[in-house]
Amino acid sequence: MDWRIDLQESDKEIKEHFASIGKLPKHIAIIMDGNGRWATERNQNRASGHRQGIETVRKIVKASSQIGIEYLTLYAFSIENWKRPAMEVNILMSLLEHYLKAELDELHANNVRFMTIGKSSSLPKAIQRLLIDSTEKTKTNTGLTLNLALSYSGRWDIVRAVQMLALDVRRGTCSPEDIDENLFSEYLSTKSIPDPDLLIRTSGEMRLSNFLLWEMAYSEIYITDKYWPEFTKVDLYEAILNYLTRERRFGKTSAQVQDNTQQVNISYLQRVINAIKL
């Protein structure tokens, strides 16, 4: 299905207005939390929460692509998640495999570039193969970059970067004096993508959970009480709208960061979003 055609009038209006403002977050990162609680509250097993979570992934990837987000990073499985019961880990791995097999053609047809970050060597071999093939197949696409964080943790990535940097110093390809923030970033697994502008976390928890620790130094944080399985594209629009109201100062004063770009008509956008909710 061509996602450009499959847009409702209200979505088009939002997309056009977001585009005209020119301040859309380039990169959105999401901590998809609350699958288990969503299921438990419905007397279902945790697996059904994860299955429903995949449905949300499908919708949010599509909506992000449709409104022109350039990078979407989803925290799908942390290194700490390996400590969950083996049965739950197996279910998550098979859902991931199923998702990729089922969605890859549609992602590719819609110009999505797929990539992953994380300790992929810990993943089952069949999944490693699938990730390599999916990345390879979509590597020249120019639309949304969908980045799955799999067997990932921020501290793991930082330590790995330090090890590789230390090796380069030992080899003599760089010296300790060369090391600055830009050079260090080049050693992280996120080197090819910009830092997230906006972090969304579902289910009301207020922590980073070892996600993109270096990269989120200046990300705006948006937390919603909704569980991931019930998060919708309208919730995504609300998060972006909220982001548009933030003043990003990066350590400067408010007066220093005043710009002349078009003012965001928040109340108009809120009306359009409310109309979709009805």
99 touches ligand FPP (CB under 6 A) = yes
154 touches ligand FPP (CB under 6 A) = no
53 touches ligand FPP (CB under 6 A) = yes
CA dist 158 and 189 (Å) reads: 9
Residue from 35, 138, 153, 219 touching ligand FPP (CB under 6 A): that is 35
Place of tokens 């056009």: 16
**Total binding residues toward ligand FPP, as defined by CB under 6 A:** 19
> Bridge partners of 178?
none
33 touches ligand FPP (CB under 6 A) = yes
Residue from 241, 224, 217 nearest 23 by CA: 241
Of the ranges 26-34, 122-130, 212-220, 241-249, which one interacts with ligand FPP (CB under 6 A)?
Answer: 26-34
Contact 216, 198 (CB under 8 A): no
Of the ranges 5-13, 22-30, 50-58, 254-262, which one interacts with ligand FPP (CB under 6 A)?
Answer: 50-58
61 touches ligand FPP (CB under 6 A) = no
Site string for ligand FPP, 195-234 (x = CB under 6 A): ---------------------------------x------
Of the two residues 18 and 62, which places its CB atom closer to ligand FPP in the complex? Answer: 62
Query: Longest C-alpha distance within the chain, in Å?
Result: 63
Two tokens at 153?
């943790």
59 touches ligand FPP (CB under 6 A) = no
76 touches ligand FPP (CB under 6 A) = yes
Cβ-based neighbours of 47, under 8 Å, separated by 6 or more: 39, 88, 91
Q: Which amino acid is at 160?
A: R
157 alpha-carbon distance from chain centroid: 17
CA dist 263 and 36 (Å) reads: 40
Binding site for ligand FPP (CB under 6 A): 32-37, 50, 53-54, 57, 74, 76, 81, 92, 95-96, 99, 148, 228
